[in-house]
Structure 1
């Protein structure tokens, strides 16, 4: 009712007691205009909960006024008030006839009371509302309402005679009234019919045999199986059933009628949209009915099978496929129906064709998340369909990111983890490819779904080249293929689209998704998969789609996750020694890949040791030492240029520390490291204009070099501090002042103090 700014102001403002009392008096005044009462109720709701309210609905006679006061009281969140409002609403409901003119205002109140405090209603009240719902759903008038006229000379009773309601295609209705019946004007019981259907599913869940919850799957399957085996073609006479069972019977007839009405061709777009929404709700209600009373299952199956066949060729009504799939997931085993074919069609077609529909994308991901306990042996279909699900994410990443974070642990599988990581890193590229696909589509609508800020990207024609078609098809695949292709040429082709707003938004979501992926994959990864993932991180660190700031954000995640993989499987440093040496042998990406290079160097210094892997040899240690020494020399002795950018000081500090760690394990290397560290200290003290670092950075490097030099003067202490044994990680080494580690640290501190003269004043 209010704008966002007005709501914020109402929340921040503090109403005086006089103002609050005046709002309440106006709301309760029977002579006050309806619009003013609506405004007062809205303001009081926005200020809830409030201590200054003195409202009560006990003496209110008008059901419209009662609904407004009840909305304020229910917004307070007080359970006693909720119970009081519910009892008052039912007293009014009991005192009125089913065709009473003002019951329409009470149903929203009753529905909200049921949702907030489901156990406050008595059995007789539950039975009463169930009976009323039966009357409103099944026995509403099939004649249109009378138009309200102001009178006049030409107003005659003959001119105001109402006609019958019609179907959405214009045909005269021959069956009972439903929410899909149309007319110029509606009677009160027809409005109650619409409201009754809107609250039907929630009420069935409340008043059903299991209350708001559902029976266990095993019990349900056993119950359904035994019931189906005894079903007969006839059912108990409806009028002899208890109120709840009679309501379920009439709800079933109502939903069947809606399914039949959904086959009609609507004359107006608004009616067509209403058809889609009502079809979804009808299937959801049928699902509830079959869970509560399995005798409905036999009668529902044929209806929904035919409906599914019809909807498979109608993309405009694809939303209804989701509740149908959930229905067969829930009841397929009991009904001896294989839900695999239904799921295969759903996951292979809908995301491919309708990824650009935000509402459908959100509902599709919610369906996947909420149906996880029902997938069972069909969970592999979900896992294999992750490329298609990623299309929904790539196109709608901001609103779907949190849902995908919750879903990813179920999608991650040891067999597809490597392919999925590639897909996550290429997600912004996928967004650009989907944009390109829409632009090339011959069935594009008049209102384009792509980013209109990019009028005619230069890659539009080039993408038709057969050279790129295979890469585009791989990127746009529907299922996991088990293969990985290098998409660097495609990155270059789609580079003009990297500035599209949708691509930039998708790129911002990738780091969060990567964190969720690695949290899940570490739960299933063995040594071989860990090695594969580590290699992938090294490979992809310089092969990312060039979106603004995307590379830096992703590198921060990749570097931290590389260290996590090393901690999970320390032997990978020895097992991937050749690949790691190749990685550190290049300085072309020192600035862009600085975080990744620092992580690799730190992992080498930490885990290249016989204490972690007995296969570690002196030769390996020497090779890594020489490669890192050459890298450090090149990045510190050369002037920054376009081809050789300045190396971050953090990388230099890690490289120096790693060289010192390796030397402490192979003491023949100590003289070389000491000489190099001395040169580094001298280099950072030089005030020459060619210095490659600012004074603060140079001071940090100089301090680290001095500390490492001091440690190397006592090799045994250096090895103990830089390469501690596993038992040193125990808490007692950090708490007890008499143990070896604090003693070693105090020794080093004294040595550093002796060398203080070397530090700048």
Structure 2
């Protein structure tokens, strides 16, 4: 929330009249005409930026003011003025009319601010291509001059995201060469560190020592993002930045190359891939490889080095999280490299398999296990390895133990959404895990219901249809059971001075344990639902007004529509008749949540062209 004063300033900026705004433009233009730019100019630029940024639509400045701001942004030696003018210009549209779009020329001093302005003001492919050339040319300087241009890499990343066709083959080759140098050949000595000297001698430059690993050991001859230093040198900074955009760049230059050489790409892919892999694996030097293939090889080596470093016990907890984040990126890069060159699969799989064996029992590493699962899904058949243990972990253990982890829930559902067809063909047991996968939804229905609208159809098969329908209708019960499971683990059996929950006592009671175990099952298999369903509903009566349970119930009608739209495409008349019997049986066997029963009846009775068969069978019975 903004403070009252800030809210007032934003309101004034939004409500400024057009006449007053034009006068303000004229005043700033006159201020910028002078040779001296003092505090009054800075105050005016700050107010102008607030006006530009606080409105929901983009304004266009007068041409003269726009040109003066551009000139000041490029030529000013005062950093505050450069920052303010570039911030204002990024919030504006380029001037209208021919020849008014701003483009950096070879003589323009390229900084992160001027490059950002040029990126926001360019529009055509030619402009973006020219800007790409300038950005890449700025990275050809001496190592000592690199640090001032570090932000050009993210800007270049933005260009290849929104306009990859602006990159030429020369651009791709140039940056591929530079990335190879930054990734593999960064120095392993710390940058210069100033130490306090005597009164007369002043500060001294301490002799740089070697870079160290996260566990404190001296680093070898390969610097990576997981190396520690009191002060990084310029080439080490470029190493860090290069890794941050490496995966995106590999994908983009591969697509650009495909687009520029589509005529013979298919003919050469199978042959060249295996040849490059053999050369990379057996040659003492990869310098004979073309730039793009050499970058692929160095990327492969870099990721293998990261996986090796992740096995070291970090001295700081934050570094442990950094290890996990780097592992996620490293496995994804290896996956991308292997997709481009199938010959790399046999070199990468032992490393990835060993990593899975090390992490699969550590629930805190769930975010790393999903990229590993993607790697197995894409390359398991090529390497002829058994992947069942991976799917048992990803679809079995993780949802059961980490259903309340929002990041893991999002990543798991994104993984399923991206690979639905491949999971159906390559992972036969995938649909059997739907009781586990529904736990994410039961715990966080508002945040995940849109994801399940896409995921649910892949779980509906002739073998799961009946049990899945029961599970959807009992989703609020599952939410209550998960809540009780967490509460039972976090609190003692009896709470001194407090009033216990009868449902929690029932959850702990051996007499009712079977009912809750069925709700919390990990795999399908019964084909139906439990007996004594009414008993379960009575035990969970007090959960009917829990906010999480109510939210879960509100998502069920939406998912029932998706279910009925899908089930008619996978079932025959016998299965449809069985589903009708389930609907008749369950019409009065629902958890007594306000409006829930009425909403379920309305969802079932709503005439839709895709669930007409179900409605017809209901009428017949």
TM-score, structure 2 as length reference:
0.81
The equivalent residue for 1:477 is 521
SS of the residue 1:350 aligns to: helix
Instruction: Please tell me whether residue 66 in structure 1 is matched to residue 110 in structure 2.
Output: no
The alignment covers a number of residue pairs equal to: 561
Instruction: Please tell me whether residue 257 in structure 1 is matched to residue 305 in structure 2.
Output: yes
The equivalent residue for 1:131 is 177
After superposition, residues 714-729 of structure 1 pair within 5 angstroms as: none
After superposition, residues 104-143 of structure 1 pair within 5 angstroms as: 104-143=150-189
Residues of 1 paired with 2:595 and 2:395: CA distance?
Answer: 33
Q: 1:36 to 1:387 in 2, by over 3 A?
A: farther
Q: 1:233 to 1:124 in 2, by over 3 A?
A: closer
The equivalent residue for 2:102 is 55
Residues of 1 paired with 2:272 and 2:605: CA distance?
Answer: 53
Residues of 2 paired with 1:455 and 1:128: CA distance?
Answer: 70
The equivalent residue for 1:183 is 229
Q: Which protein shows a greater Rg?
A: 1
Deviation at 1:165, TM superposition (A): 1.9
The equivalent residue for 1:437 is 485
Q: 1:125 to 1:377 in 2, by over 3 A?
A: closer
SS of the residue 1:240 aligns to: coil
Kept in 1: contact 2:274–2:341 (CA 8 A):
no
After superposition, residues 550-569 of structure 1 pair within 5 angstroms as: 550-560=596-606, 565-567=611-613
| 1:678-726 Cα distance to aligned partner (Å, 9 max, x none) | xxxxxxxxxxxxxxxxxxxxxxxxxxxxxxxxxxxxxxxxxxxxxxxxx
Where structure 2 has 5 or more consecutive residues not aligned to the other structure, the ranges are: 11-51, 493-497
SS of the residue 1:441 aligns to: helix
Instruction: Please tell me whether residue 31 in structure 1 is matched to residue 79 in structure 2.
Output: no
Q: 1:96 to 1:328 in 2, by over 3 A?
A: same
Residues of 1 paired with 2:178 and 2:465: CA distance?
Answer: 55
After superposition, residues 177-576 of structure 1 pair within 5 angstroms as: 177-208=223-254, 211=257, 234-235=282-283, 237-441=285-489, 457-481=501-525, 482-486=527-531, 487-560=533-606, 565-567=611-613, 570=616, 573-574=619-620, 576=621
Residues of 1 paired with 2:545 and 2:95: CA distance?
Answer: 48
Kept in 2: contact 1:255–1:283 (CA 8 A):
yes
Kept in 1: contact 2:470–2:528 (CA 8 A):
no
Q: 1:558 to 1:35 in 2, by over 3 A?
A: farther
Instruction: Flag the structure with more relative contact order, 1 or 2, with Cα contacts below 8 A and sequence separation at least 6.
Output: 2
Residues of 1 paired with 2:511 and 2:93: CA distance?
Answer: 63
SS of the residue 1:522 aligns to: helix
Kept in 2: contact 1:98–1:135 (CA 8 A):
no
Deviation at 1:298, TM superposition (A): 1.7
Residues of 2 paired with 1:18 and 1:107: CA distance?
Answer: 30
Q: 1:50 to 1:322 in 2, by over 3 A?
A: farther
Deviation at 1:88, TM superposition (A): 2.3
Residues of 2 paired with 1:219 and 1:469: CA distance?
Answer: 62
Kept in 2: contact 1:388–1:478 (CA 8 A):
yes
Deviates more, 1:154-163 or 1:353-362: 154-163
- Once superposed, what is the RMSD of the aligned Cα atoms? 3.7
Kept in 2: contact 1:325–1:342 (CA 8 A):
yes
Q: 1:96 to 1:225 in 2, by over 3 A?
A: closer
Kept in 2: contact 1:255–1:286 (CA 8 A):
yes
Kept in 2: contact 1:82–1:116 (CA 8 A):
no
The equivalent residue for 1:621 is none
TM-score, structure 1 as length reference:
0.67
Where structure 1 has 5 or more consecutive residues not aligned to the other structure, the ranges are: 445-453, 577-761
- Pick one of 124, 130, 133 that aligns with 1:87: 133
Q: 1:326 to 1:229 in 2, by over 3 A?
A: same
